[in-house]
Structure 1
């Protein structure tokens, strides 16, 4: 039988010629990404941006799948799944047996939390900075999924004085709330962009008898990961935000001793078998984003790897934040420098634009975000952190300082039309 093209493709590396010499900024944007030339794109943190070469691989996989769907699903897909898992496991310093793919970090957290063996009176703990959809999961657990389980949130206030103070806050809370059996810690909070000391926090949670899961939605490709050394129970992280995969590709790492507890979202043919087999066989679906992880990581290494890429983006994010603060007399998020996220920065607005008076907070931030996009073709994020409105910028290798400079007149116009936070609160309450 002639060698099947999908087997041949899996064995070959993606063409990475010329990537070692391409300059970050405008050159790599024009040559390697498909972003609209004039658009101010400063929100890689939400959905990522897929390089042209990885998109080409994705299309090739699609053509191969359609050339013989039965051959694809029955004979080659599991091998490709395992091959991609090996690449991701190496990237995050984990044993491949402990890694499976899920479509996103929210799915990863849902999978683990819904697998927990909890009793009435037990509690699960998040924080005030937990991602909004997962706060909803906490409430759903208490109200519908595991009635009698308590949903708790530890309030994290800004400013954060030091990592030690934050660690002590967790320690004090868990000492007084012994019913907490499971803690979710963000590796990088969203949208507030705080790099949490997850290894130290995990140790505190274990000291109090609680299992620990890290929501690393923003971490793969942005921070060095060594999951073997992290000393937590579960870890999930998106590959599409900062590691260049197509959307719908995330990892879920499960500590070996918990393999028998964690169940995939669907019970299917592989019930009772290895977690790799169970998570692979979830019915007919699109595996291609997972398979592309191998090739996306080849792209990442070819442009210089994390040290070079994050060296550029960290410096750009800091210079961009400092430019906006200097030009407009704005303030940065008041956290220790050790807790600043490499590619994300938060800038505090001094008040609330009148255009969003009367809206509830989440709706107000979304309206402001849409107004800036529709009027100026600039995509960034506005959201609330501890009662104040912030702009979040994110930087990728295709960004430049000029991208961020475009925000200066936009923010100045917003600030000229601002009222105090107290005034916003009064107006909201009148609605």
Structure 2
């Protein structure tokens, strides 16, 4: 078997971050990492807030509107339909609270959905859970499986844009169109979309939310919520504030004296992505993740899963009996971190869990080679 071609190092990528060089950080998709220029921008904002709190906080709504406009321009979004929020789970609750439901209505979710997002749906209505075989070959197979699970009572579908554990596209534009034609309101969890996808809001979902702190280089706690025009009047903040009278999006963004500096610095992350060359970053990250997956696929018992071209994450199934429960997956993840100094996502699944690797401009081919060399003997113990 020929050796896979090693992707080149992204010029200056590692120097943009202050990550522990002793750890192979192959799990960017879980928490992200903040580049130095964005950290510096946030620090400057905090200094301004500390120097003159009255002026800073009185001007927060206008500052947020300006930052939101910059983000919207980068993402091709309508700034009037966009709001800063803290995370995807908040976005799910905002969306589901804005959808009128009657007794007997049901919400469709998939078994790839993020746990707290699915929990938010379960608070509103009975769930229909679609079992998506991780080995489904393509987007059409995913779409057909979701549509086949609809019932006459399905009113809402909560779908991942890119699934967190299996790193594949689920809420494709065609699926969103098909659901709209059937009268189903669509709520899309785009946690991994901003920064990884060139057009993260494509498809026209009724509600969409996504994190900026993963692939958009923003500080932690920076996310977006988008609502189509027909729904905006019904969007209400989860906690009332003095800005409620202004309506969406301003009412959703107001958090009294919270730390707004992450949101205000978020445009700097997307600006940095553009300076680096967004297309070049995406191509590099996808190629590097693919290189890592090719190496891991050589380990006996590991099976690569189908993936969507261009994504910076890849997943493989682990052997039967490994990481089949949440507790076992967590234990394996932490043991890999403690013993091998490698960070990956291990996710549970009956019949054998999975391993997800990510790639970012700070990663290098040798980190995946180190994982591949160590993982086989580690699992065989």
Q: Smaller-chain TM-score range?
A: over 0.9
Q: Deviations over 1:309-351 (max 9, x none)?
A: 0110111111111122135563201x2x5x3561101122223
**Where do 5+ consecutive residues of structure 1 fail to align?**
1-22, 418-431
SS for the counterpart of 1:259 is helix
Question: Alignment partner of 1:190: what SS?
Answer: coil
Secondary structure of the corresponding residue to residue 297 of structure 2: helix
Tell me what 1:223 maps to.
197
CA distances 1:129-165 after superposition (whole Å, capped 9, x unpaired): 11112222233x1xxxx4xx31221111132133223
Deviations 1:291-310 (A, max 9, x none): 011111121111112x1101
Deviation at 1:379, TM superposition (A): 0.7
**Alignment partners' CA distance in 2, 1:387 and 1:249:** 36
Aligned partner of 1:186 in structure 2 is: 160
Is the partner of 2:356 in helix, strand or coil? strand
Equivalent residue for 2:175? 201
- In structure 1, the partner of 2:104 is 121
Aligned positions of 1:22-421 closer than 5 A: 24-25=9-10, 27-29=12-14, 31-74=15-58, 76-139=59-122, 141=123, 146=124, 149-174=125-150, 177-225=151-199, 227=201, 229-305=202-278, 307-326=279-298, 328=300, 330-333=302-305, 335=306, 337=307, 339-340=308-309, 342-352=311-321, 361-385=325-349, 387-417=351-381
1:28/1:398 contact within 8 Å kept: yes
Question: Quick one: distance in 1 between partners of 2:53 and 2:376?
Answer: 55
Match of 1:13 in 2: none
User: 1:185 touches 1:198 (CA, 8 Å); kept in 2?
Assistant: no
Q: How many pairs are equivalent?
A: 374
**TM-score (norm. length: structure 2):** 0.93
Is the Cα contact below 8 Å between 2:210 and 2:224 reproduced in 1? Answer: yes
Provide the TM-score with structure 1 as the length reference. Answer: 0.83
Aligned partners of 1:375, 1:208: CA distance in 2, in Å? 51
Check conservation: 1:125, 1:154, Cα contact below 8 A.
yes
Deviates more, 1:380-389 or 1:253-262: 380-389
Name the CA distance, whole Å, in 2 between partners of 1:328 and 1:403.
Answer: 20
Work out the CA distance in 1 between the residues paired with 2:363 and 2:11. Answer: 7
Note if contact 1:194-1:340 (Cα within 8 Å) is conserved in structure 2. no
C-alpha deviation, 1:169, in angstroms? 2.1
**Runs of 5+ unmatched residues, structure 2:** 1-7
Contact 2:98/2:234 (8 A) holds in 1: yes
Cα contact 1:89–1:95 (8 A) shared by 2: yes
Give secondary structure in 1 for the equivalent of 2:13. Answer: helix
* Cα separation, partners in 2 of 1:123 and 1:277, compared to 1, 3 Å: same
CA contact (8 A) 1:193 1:340 kept: no
Provide the alpha-carbon RMSD of the alignment: 1.9
Q: 2:336, 2:28 → 1: CA distance?
A: 16
Comparing 156-165 and 123-132, the one that deviates more: 156-165
